[in-house]
Amino acid sequence: MLFTSGLITVDKNAQVAVYLQICNGIIGHIRQGTLKPGTALPSSRVLATLLKVHRKTVVAAYDELYAQSWVDVYPRKGIFVAKNLPDVSPRAISTAVKRNTYPDKTLFEVTEKVPYPDLFQTDKPRTLVFDDGFPDTRLAPVELLVREYRRFANYHFTQQYLTYGPEQGSINLRSELARFLGETRGLQVSATDILITKGSQMAIYLCAQILLNKNDVVIAADPGYPGANETFEQAAAKLHLVPIDEHGISLDAVEAICRQKKVKLVYVIPHHHRPTTVTLSAERRMRLLELARKYRFAIIEDDYDYDFHYASSPILPLASADYDGSVIYVGSFCKTIAPGIRIGFMIAPANLLTQTIRLRKMIDRQGEHLLEEAIANLLKNGDIGRHLKKANKLYHERRDLLCSLLKEHLRQYLDFKIPDGGFAVWVKYADGFNPAEVAEKAAAMGLTIADGRDYFYDNSPGRQYVRLGFASLNEKEMREAVDILAAVFKKTSL
């Protein structure tokens, strides 16, 4: 008999009521085909004895089964599995059913439309980490953010922020952001020119979906940011890659492609290009705008960490000198505050912005209204400006410390240039050192470091570059990380 084989179990310590555990267990066996339509179920007294529960608990389970139309009740005859259910061939109870887990595969076909490299790994053990270049979340102005949330709790009008708001984003945030961008970047924009997004990646995705059609030509640098490349290819565009040097993306290569093909979009990271950290020179910025005017292509200007400069004042964005409507400017507070604060923005001409707002509404009705209002207040009060000033000073010191340690302990093993800003150093290993092998040995010694993948488009072996993020490490952690890396190189060179 089914109910004596241990296939229906009861856990009296579980959060789910016992009667529902019994009910769901019986439903599972009906679905599996082990209890067929018309099968008689044990009386409530018998089943209660078998499962060692009170008879009223089984009665409640049977009542629930009847209410859900899984069973038929016939007076003086008993309880039977409903006859109108489809007859399912019996199958062995799978491990998934026993453990109540969801299937790992669909019965229907799913085409792999979104191949994506593992860029944002979060499951690595939290040892010492030379990350890709992230801010130190320990510095995030969490107390200030919480202060703003507490203020909202005392406002009689806070309720309006808990319902639907504008899909374009908080008007207060867009207004304060327009002022902030005007003061720091020379952008002459208003609240109506801005769309608030959840990070710059969402802005890139929205642009790709609106602008690109199948086989449209997109130009990007190689090495470059795979998160953008994959987004363009997912939109069915044809990616054309051009080299990058110490002055930024090669515009000779860009123009050569424009002469041969109709280019739809050029993607650039003008400040602290990911991964090489170089800054697009003023001369190339002017030429890129001229090329956009001549060949009528769009430019996505990804200025994800404009706010962090150490050597000199930053060059103003392309968007600040765009008089023709060629530039789509995207950025975020994910680096300014912390990666978990998903506030990004996109600035574009009105006709494109309208389309992206409509698309954003389809996939994500609106942003986090309270968070947007809180960030608006931090901008208005000058809190973010003060945080940036403090963080810039500290990150500048950390950049200098890492570069000093690399020269002192690893001079013979790697080469690099001191970056003008950003959060990472672009390093080239000496001949004979494989980044994947170095990463594996470092991990065994407690240091997580990049293995050299995901920088270049083809991911081919033989390239010896990695990014060493310094912003998220304090002095003690940085010295320990460099010591481990030095030990790995010495061990590898034996």
Q: Are residues 364 and 412 in the same domain?
A: no
Q: Is residue 189 part of a domain?
A: yes
Please indicate, yes or no, if residue 273 is contained in any of the structural domains.
yes
| Element holding 466 (H helix, E strand) | strand 465-469
Rounded (to 5) percent helix, strand, coil in the chain: 45, 15, 45
Q: What letter does residue 237 receive in the DSSP assignment?
A: P
Element (H, E) at 60: helix 55-67
CATH of the domain at 477: 3.90.1150.10
Domain final residue pick, 360, 381, 402? 381
Residue 12's domain is classified under what CATH number?
1.10.10.10
Residues 328 and 399 in one domain: no
CA distance 373 to 343: 11
In a domain, 221, yes or no: yes
Q: What pLDDT does residue 119 have?
A: 46
Q: What is the total count of domains within the chain?
A: 3
Residues 345 and 412 in one domain: no
Is the same domain home to 176 and 280?
yes
Residue 157 sits in a domain whose CATH number is: 3.40.640.10
Q: Which domain holds residue 452?
A: 128-135+386-492
- Tell me, yes or no, whether 121 lies in a domain: no
DSSP string, 339-402: TTS--EEEE--HHHHHHHHHHHHHH-S---HHHHHHHHHHHHTTHHHHHHHHHHHHHHHHHHHH
161 and 290 inside one domain:
yes
Domain final residue, candidates 361, 381, 401: 381
Query: Quick check: is 115 in a domain?
Result: no
> Is the previous residue joined to 461 through a cis bond, with omega within 30 degrees of 0?
no
Q: What is the pLDDT along the chain (494 residues), one digit of tens a residue?
A: 556 556 688 888 887 889 998 998 888 888 878 888 999 999 999 999 989 999 999 999 999 999 888 899 998 889 999 988 776 666 555 444 444 555 666 556 666 666 655 544 444 555 799 999 999 989 888 888 888 878 877 765 666 666 667 889 889 999 999 999 998 888 989 999 999 998 899 999 999 999 999 999 999 999 999 999 999 999 999 999 999 999 999 999 999 999 999 999 999 999 999 999 999 998 999 999 999 999 999 999 999 888 888 877 788 899 988 888 999 999 988 877 777 778 899 999 999 999 999 999 888 877 677 788 888 899 999 998 899 999 999 999 999 999 999 999 999 999 999 999 999 999 999 988 999 999 999 999 999 999 988 899 987 666 899 999 999 999 999 999 999 999 999 988 75
Residues 361, 428, single domain; the answer is no
Q: Is 244 strand, coil or helix? A: strand
| 54, 195: one domain | no
Residues 155 and 261 grouped into a single domain: yes
